Amino acid sequence: MSNELLLDTRELEAPEPMGLVLQNLSNLNATTYIKMIHRIEPLMLYTHLENNNISYKTIKDKDEVSIYIWNIHFHDTTIFETL
């Protein structure tokens, strides 16, 4: 079973969304991933994740962006394939 840590940052101003995600990266483990909802793509976040070998998948919708974030220990990455 997987645990989703939902971070809805649509109403936050920069740099609060980035700070919130960075604070929660320590919660990533074999069963927990982050779902961040934002109003724009957080391009600077992607660079940080890539530099720290953290995986992510971005889903763009009309009015928002969902970013799923997980680390190498996450047990079931197949859940991100169906998004």
**Cα gap 5→51, rounded to integer Å:** 22
Identify the DSSP state of 15: T
Angle at 79 between CA 77 and CA 83, to 5 degrees: 120
Counting the structural domains of the chain, the total is 1
Which residues span the domain enclosing 61?
3-80
User: pTM for the complete prediction?
Assistant: 0.95
Pairing verdict, β 32-38 and 3-8: parallel
- Quick: pLDDT tens for 32-81: 999 999 999 999 999 999 999 999 999 999 999 999 999 999 999 999 99
Dist. CA 42–CA 30, nearest whole Å: 24
Q: What CATH number corresponds to the domain at position 38?
A: 3.30.110.40
Q: Show Cβ contacts of residue 46 under 8 Å, excluding neighbours closer than 6 positions.
A: 56
